[in-house]
Amino acid sequence: MTAADPAPRRGRGRPGYDQAAVVRTAVELFNRKGYDATSIGDLAKELGVTKPAIYHHVTSKEDLLRLALDDALDELTAVVTGAMSDAGSSSAYERLRGVVRRSVEVLVAHQPAVTLLLRVRGNTPVEVEALSRRRWLDDRLAALVRAAAAEGALRDDIPPELVSRLLFGMVNSLVEWYRPEGVFDASAVADAITALAFNGLSR
Amino acid sequence: MTAADPAPRRGRGRPGYDQAAVVRTAVELFNRKGYDATSIGDLAKELGVTKPAIYHHVTSKEDLLRLALDDALDELTAVVTGAMSDAGSSSAYERLRGVVRRSVEVLVAHQPAVTLLLRVRGNTPVEVEALSRRRWLDDRLAALVRAAAAEGALRDDIPPELVSRLLFGMVNSLVEWYRPEGVFDASAVADAITALAFNGLSR
C-alpha cells in the first residue's frame, strides 16, 4: 500500500470509494471472517456505505473474490513467466533462486490477496478457476526445480517434486506470520529464505 | 487412523458412532466448508444421524472444535516438552533436528486436526485458547532455535526468530499438500525437510 492509497477505516461513513478500495476492504473481511460467512451487507457496513454503493463497483460477492484473487495470481504469474523467458541467459539454478526471492517480494507486497488465495478451497467457480491457475504456477515451479536438479546444481537425495513443495511451502508460510510493521523487511526475509533453502542452517 | 477405527462414510445411515468418529467427521466438514459455515445439522446429515444423536456425544459445535484442536495441540505439546526434558542429555542442535522430525510425524498422523488448528483465526473463545497454546509452542521452539544458535551450531546471519518462523512454516506447509496415499511417506518427508533446512539444497 502506498501513501497515496485511501485508508478505508478512516473513510468510514463517507461515500466515494474506488473499486480498489472496495476490493481491499473485502479481502480484509474475507480473511478475518471467512469468505462464506461474509455478505455484501457486512462489507457495506464496514465501509459505511449502502449495498447499492457496493454494487456500483462490483456485480457480486464472487466478482469481488475474483478481483482479489487475480491481483495475487497476476503478480505470481509475472514472476514465473519472467523466469521462463530468462531461460536462454541464466542457469535454472539462478532462475530458481530469483523466483524464490521475487515470490517473497510479491507475498509481502500483496499479502492480504495472497493469504486469501492460499485459503481457497474450490467451493465456487471463481475458486476452481483460481486453483487451476495456482496449479499452473506450481507445475512451472516444479519444472524449474527439475531443470536445476538436471544441471547438477541441487542435492540429488530429495525428489524434485518434494523440493518444490517444501521450498514454496516455506515461502507461502510468510502469509501466516509476516507483519509489514515488524522488524524484518521484505529484503531481509528474501535473503533468509534463499540462504536457508539453498545453503542450509548448519555451520 | 488404525485399522480398528470405524469408517464414518461406510457407516452412513447407521447410528452408533463413538465420539472420536463424530469429531473426525466434524473436522473433515470444518476443513471442507469452513467452521463458521458448518452447522450441527450439516454434521448430522453427513453422518446420517439425527441432531440429538450428535448431542449425545458433544454439547455444542464449539465443543467439537475444542476436541479437534486439543487432538493436534496435545501431540505437538508432547513433542516440545519431550525436547525440553532432553536438555541435559543432548545438544540444542540435536534436539531441534529431533523436534522438526517429530513435528512432521505429528502433522502426517493428525493432518486434518492440524489443518484445522492452523486455520484458526480467534473468532471464538475456543479459538482464542487454541491460539494461546500455539503461541506457547512457538515461543518454546524459538527458544530452542536460540539455544542452538548460542551453541554456534547455526549460521549467524539469520536472526533466530526468523529461523524459527521459516523452519516451522515449512513444516506446517505440509498440511496444504501432503496426501497419505501419495508417493512420499512421513519418514521421507521428515528426511527431506531436515536435509533441506539444516544442510541446504545446493551441491
List the grid coordinates of B141: 521452539
How is chain B split among helix, strand and coil, in percent rounded to 5? Answer: 65, 0, 30
Whether the per-residue pLDDT at B1 is higher than 60: the answer is no
**pLDDT recorded at residue B6:** 47
> Would you state the pLDDT for residue A33?
85
Q: Is the pLDDT of residue B9 over 50?
A: no
In Å, how far are A1, A114, B50, B91 from A188, measured between CA atoms? 19, 20, 54, 28
- Per-residue confidence (pLDDT) for residue B10, from 0 to 100: 42
d(CA A164, CA A135): 12
- What integer pLDDT is reported at residue B3 of this predicted model? 45
Residue A96 has pLDDT above 60, yes or no: yes
State whether residue B154 is helix, strand or coil. strand
Confidence of residue A8 (pLDDT cuts 50, 70, 90): very low
Contacts of B97 (CB under 8 A, 6+ apart): B194, B198
**Cβ–Cβ gap A195/B155 under 8 Å:** yes
The residue assigned the cell 501466516 is A176
Among B121, B130, B133, B131, CA closest to B78: B133
Q: List the single residue in B with minimal CA-CA distance to A173.
A: B169
* B159 chain-A contacts, CB cut-off 8 A: 184, 192
pLDDT, mean over chain B: 91
The cell for B130 is 487454541
* Rg of chain B in Å (alpha carbons): 19
ipTM > 0.90, yes or no = no
Top residue of A100, A166, A168, A183 to mutate, by most chain B CBs within 10 Å, is A166
Residue B56 Cα, gap to closest chain A Cα (Å): 28
Give the bridge partners for B202, in sequence order: A154
> Does residue B77 sit at the A interface (CB-CB below 8 Å)?
no
Tell me the average pLDDT across A19-45: 94
Distance CA B159, CA B25 (A): 41
What number of residues does chain A have?
203
Chain A residue with minimum CA distance to B184: A162
- Go through B43-79 and write b for each residue having 16 or more CB atoms within 10 A of its CB, e for each that does not: bbebbebeeeebeebbeebeebbbbbbbbbbebbeeb
